[in-house]
């Protein structure tokens, strides 16, 4: 009866002003490997989209193209109605609207936790130092590591470091946050403290794209699940429907292996 829905949620297409990230027929190769194939994806303001799929399916590359860490071969990407340019000052500005949190926390090892969260504000947003420090402390409190502000990253647990990385990204006032397997490098007992922060962020209305293997998070936080395989979006659905009644054989096969 129904076709696999692409870029539409249950209420139908959102009005243009609600479309925050729009990928239109994006293609990318790494040499002979066609890593992103005809990707059409629209992420609406306030939406939480969880991207899942087998290793090597192109999930990280998809995230990296959205903030232009990777170029694309064809197609277009727009953030809040503005096409991502190839380079230049406008690119830096648009990129600052896209926060990114990686599996490896990528904090600056020789800066304190507080300085890590201040740096982008000062360098990119041109915020003055006192203001940046104030905001950094507030964000560190928000993610539950306020008491760690004067320590160095190596003195923190993995879960604490990842929460600092989230605070650092939030300090730029991003319009959308991308998370690429943010809990995959963590010891099991630290996974929930990071997922809880992300869950709260979602409740606060942040627009989020989350690559994760945490299906509990996908079920409870996602508005939509995007399933990728071999560089393509195979299926998109609301989480209950996706997990209870996947349409494609690829998704069924994937879910049978992980659930």
Give the binding site for ligand ADP (CB under 6 A).
Answer: 30, 33, 35, 53, 55-61
Tokens of 94: 């648009």
Q: Is 127 in the site for Mg ion (CB under 5 A)?
A: no
Could you say which of Mg ion, ligand ADP, none residue 61 binds, taking C-beta under 5 to 8 angstroms by partner kind?
Answer: ligand ADP
Buried b (16+ CB within 10 A) or exposed e, 6-19: ebebeeeebeeeeb
Distance separating the N- and C-terminal Cα atoms of the chain:
27
Tokens of 157: 């647990």
What is the C-alpha separation between 101 and 200, in angstroms, rounded? Answer: 16
What is the C-alpha separation between 100 and 122, in angstroms, rounded? Answer: 18
Q: Which is nearer to ligand ADP, 51 or 114 (CB)?
A: 51
Give the shortest CB-207-to-ligand ADP separation in angstroms.
20
Could you say which of Mg ion, ligand ADP, none residue 57 binds, taking C-beta under 5 to 8 angstroms by partner kind?
Answer: ligand ADP
Q: Is 60 in the site for Mg ion (CB under 5 A)?
A: yes
CB half-sphere exposure, 170, CA atoms < 13 A? 25
Could you say which of Mg ion, ligand ADP, none residue 161 binds, taking C-beta under 5 to 8 angstroms by partner kind?
Answer: none
Q: Which is nearer to ligand ADP, 69 or 124 (CB)?
A: 69
Give the shortest CB-140-to-Mg ion separation in angstroms.
27
Q: Is 57 in the site for Mg ion (CB under 5 A)?
A: no
Could you say which of Mg ion, ligand ADP, none residue 86 binds, taking C-beta under 5 to 8 angstroms by partner kind?
Answer: none
Could you say which of ligand ADP, Mg ion, none residue 146 binds, taking C-beta under 5 to 8 angstroms by partner kind?
Answer: none
Could you say which of ligand ADP, Mg ion, none residue 56 binds, taking C-beta under 5 to 8 angstroms by partner kind?
Answer: ligand ADP
Taking alpha carbons only, the member of 28, 53, 24, 51 closest to residue 40 is 24
> Helices in the chain by DSSP H: which ranges?
59-66, 89-96, 113-123, 129-142, 158-170, 188-203, 215-221, 239-244, 249-258
Q: Which is nearer to Mg ion, 104 or 244 (CB)?
A: 104
Give the shortest CB-209-to-Mg ion separation in angstroms.
13
Give the shortest CB-60-to-Mg ion separation in angstroms.
3
> Helices in 38-112 by DSSP H: which ranges?
59-66, 89-96
């Amino acid at each position: 009866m129904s076709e696999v829905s692409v870029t539409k949620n249950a209420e139908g297409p959102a009005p243009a002003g609600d479309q925050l990230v729009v990928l239109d027929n994006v293609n990318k190769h790494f040499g002979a490997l066609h890593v992103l194939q005809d990707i059409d994806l629209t992420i609406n303001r306030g939406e939480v989209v969880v991207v899942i799929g087998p290793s090597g399916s192109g999930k990280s590359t998809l995230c990296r193209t959205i903030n232009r860490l990777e170029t694309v071969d064809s197609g277009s990407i727009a953030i809040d109605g503005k096409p991502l340019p190839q380079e230049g000052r406008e690119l830096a500005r648009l990129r600052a609207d896209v926060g990114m949190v990686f599996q490896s926390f990528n904090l600056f090892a020789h800066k304190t936790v507080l300085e890590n969260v201040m740096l982008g504000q000062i360098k990119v947003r041109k915020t003055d130092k006192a203001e940046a420090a104030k905001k950094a402390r507030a964000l560190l409190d928000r993610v539950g590591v306020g008491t760690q502000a004067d320590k160095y990253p190596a003195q923190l647990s993995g879960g604490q470091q990842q929460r600092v990385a989230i605070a650092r990204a939030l300090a730029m006032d991003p319009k959308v946050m991308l998370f690429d397997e943010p809990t995959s490098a963590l010891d099991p007992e630290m996974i929930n403290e990071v997922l809880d922060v992300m869950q709260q962020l979602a409740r606060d209305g942040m627009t989020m794209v989350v690559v994760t293997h945490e299906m509990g998070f996908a079920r409870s936080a996602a508005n939509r699940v995007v399933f990728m395989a071999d560089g393509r979006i195979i299926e998109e659905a609301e989480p209950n429907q996706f997990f209870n009644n996947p349409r494609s054989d690829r998704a069924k096969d994937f879910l049978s292996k992980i659930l």
